[in-house]
Amino acid sequence: MSDDHHLDGNAAAGPLATIFAVDVTAAECQCAHCGTVDRFARTHLYMMSPGVVARCAVCEQVLLRLVSAGQRVLLDARGLTYLSIDASQFQESGR
Amino acid sequence: MWWVGTVVALRDETATARTIALEVQDWPGHLAGQHVDVRLTAPDGYSAVRSYSIAAAPNSERRVEITVERLPDGEVSPYLTQRVGVGDRLELRGPLGGWFVWRPEQNEPIQLVAGGSGIVPLMAMIRSRRSTDGASPFRLLYSVREPGAAYYRGELDAPPGEVSPLTVTYAFTRAAPKGWAGRLGRIDAALVARATWPSKLGPTCYVCGPTSFVESAAGLLVAAGNHPERLRTERFGPTGERQ
């Protein structure tokens, strides 16, 4: 699925803000398939209504899917081993 | 978190692009390079959301400016560029994105590369750099179809003789201004070698534009010796409405 139509993980900041209290796009994440560690902002993002799919920039496996359907939002993050988030943001957001 | 912004000013940048300045009560402030999502809702409840980069430098006036390119088949951009008036209200989500940002405490050389409306978040960085008197020198390589398609022309072109922390190089792909000495065409390796910071200076490079433009420009920057780690990219989609 390596085509020319992907965006960057940056572009998922809005949809992700519906469920996360702090910015996740600047977080480091690890791909559960190939082990690559990089910023979420560097993932390959496919925005296809009604959701977004983030794929590893190295192996193109799915890292995360976020789908809105009616009154529900579904998050599938099985392709991510972890997210490492800069904690200084918590103070800015009062958490 | 959705905010309501009130349109306080409109400014045409080109024949097809308009800047919309909004004042947002309780706006928490933003960083140069961040974007907002704009939501339009029709009377029947149908809503459309599009992302737009913030063009304004961080400021204390709760002011958010976006520049919108009108796309003939767009669902949102014709409304934003032709119908919205001063006093109208728009729903915004943001500020969004913590990665494609420039902070005034950065003091390394900064290389900006823009394709078309990809200039918008980079303009916020340039304005932020100017308003904070930072130390880092900026270079901008800006690719546009023709002179009339360039945004922010008056602001980017420093008066002759003035020492500016910003050096601007244009690449015109279809038509150049009269007397233009350069070659017509897309950004290539020779132009990257001539107009961007030498990679040995370790610049941070911000590249924004349509997907194919970003692929090409990022590839040229890496081929010129820049480490991929030093590159930050922001692509926008084939539908053109900045998504």
pLDDT tens string B9-18: 999 999 999 9
Mean pLDDT of B63-89: 95
**Report for A4-13, B138-147, B150-159: range of highest mean pLDDT:** B138-147
CB contact under 8 A, A4 and B215: yes
Q: Which of B96, B119, B154 is the last residue of a domain?
A: B96
CB contact under 8 A, B243 and A11: yes
Task: Judge if B89 and B115 occupy the same domain.
Answer: no
How much is the pLDDT for B238?
52
CB contact under 8 A, A4 and B97: no
- Between the alpha carbon of residue B205 and those of residues A31, A69, A70, B169, B234, the distances in Å are 25, 38, 40, 15, 11
pLDDT value at B160 more than 70: no
pLDDT level of residue A92 (50, 70, 90 thresholds): low
Of A5, A14, A86, the CB nearest to B93: A14
Token pair, residue A80, equals 């991510």
pLDDT value at B165 more than 90: no
Distance CA B151, CA B17 (A): 8
How much is the pLDDT for A33?
98
For residue A25, the chain B residues in CB contact (below 8 A) are: 96-99
In B, minimum Cα distance to A38 occurs at B229
Q: Among A44-58, B56-70, B103-117, B185-199, whose mean pLDDT is lowest?
A: A44-58
Task: Judge if B149 and B180 occupy the same domain.
Answer: yes
Total structural domains in chain B? 2
For B153, list phi and psi in degrees, rounded to 5: -55, -50
pLDDT value at A93 more than 60: no
Task: Judge if B79 and B143 occupy the same domain.
Answer: no
Mean pLDDT of A25-37: 97
**Nearest residue to B127 (alpha-carbon basis) of B203, B33, B37:** B33
Task: Judge if B119 and B84 occupy the same domain.
Answer: no
Per-residue pLDDT of B39-58, as tens digits, reads: 999 999 888 999 999 999 99
Interface-testing mutation among A5, A7, A28, with chain B (most B C-beta atoms within 10 A) = A7
**Domain span including residue B127:** 110-236
pLDDT value at B237 more than 80: no
Interface-testing mutation among A4, A5, A10, A71, with chain B (most B C-beta atoms within 10 A) = A10
Q: Is B108 part of the contact surface with chain A (CB cutoff 8 Å)?
A: no
Q: Identify the CATH number of the domain in which residue B78 sits.
A: 2.40.30.10
Q: Among B126-130, B171-175, B234-238, whose mean pLDDT is lowest?
A: B234-238
pTM for this model (two decimals)? 0.94
Looking at chain A, how many residues does it have?
Answer: 95
Average pLDDT over chain B reads 93
Of A7, A13, A89, the CB nearest to B236: A7
Task: Judge if B126 and B181 occupy the same domain.
Answer: yes
Q: Which of B96, B131, B166 is the last residue of a domain?
A: B96
Of B1, B99, B243, the CB nearest to A7: B243
Task: Judge if B121 and B207 occupy the same domain.
Answer: yes
pLDDT level of residue B144 (50, 70, 90 thresholds): very high
Percent of chain A having pLDDT more than 90?
Answer: 73
Average pLDDT over chain A reads 89
For chain B, the C-alpha Rg in angstroms (whole number) is 18
Task: Judge if B158 and B215 occupy the same domain.
Answer: yes
pLDDT value at A95 more than 50: no
C-alpha A28, offset from chain centre: 10
Task: Judge if B39 and B77 occupy the same domain.
Answer: yes
Distance CA B4, CA B6 (A): 7
Task: Judge if B87 and B118 occupy the same domain.
Answer: no
pLDDT level of residue A90 (50, 70, 90 thresholds): low
Mean pLDDT of B145-166: 86
pLDDT level of residue A87 (50, 70, 90 thresholds): confident
pLDDT value at B240 more than 80: no
For residue A4, the chain B residues in CB contact (below 8 A) are: 211-212, 215
For residue B37, the chain A residues in CB contact (below 8 A) are: 14
Q: Identify the CATH number of the domain in which residue B199 sits.
A: 3.40.50.80
Q: What is the 3-state secondary structure (H, E, C) of A14-69?
A: HHHHCCCCCCCCCCEEEECCCCCEEEHHHCEEEEECCEEEEECCCCCCEEEEEEEE
CA angle B165, B145, B188 (to 5 degrees): 70
pLDDT level of residue B210 (50, 70, 90 thresholds): very high
Task: Judge if B59 and B142 occupy the same domain.
Answer: no
CB contact under 8 A, A17 and B96: yes
Domain assignment present for residue B10? The answer is: yes
CA distance to partner chain A, nearest, from residue B39 (Å): 11
pLDDT value at B181 more than 90: no
How much is the pLDDT for B22?
98
Distance CA B68, CA B47 (A): 18
| Strand-pair category, B166-172 with B63-69 | unpaired
Interface of chain A against chain B, CB under 8 Å?
Answer: 4-11, 13-14, 17, 23, 25-26, 39-42, 47, 86, 89
Burial tier of A70 (Cβ tally within 10 Å: 0-12, 13-18, 19+): exposed
Q: Which of B47, B68, B96 is the last residue of a domain?
A: B96
Q: Is B234 part of the contact surface with chain A (CB cutoff 8 Å)?
A: yes
pLDDT level of residue A94 (50, 70, 90 thresholds): very low
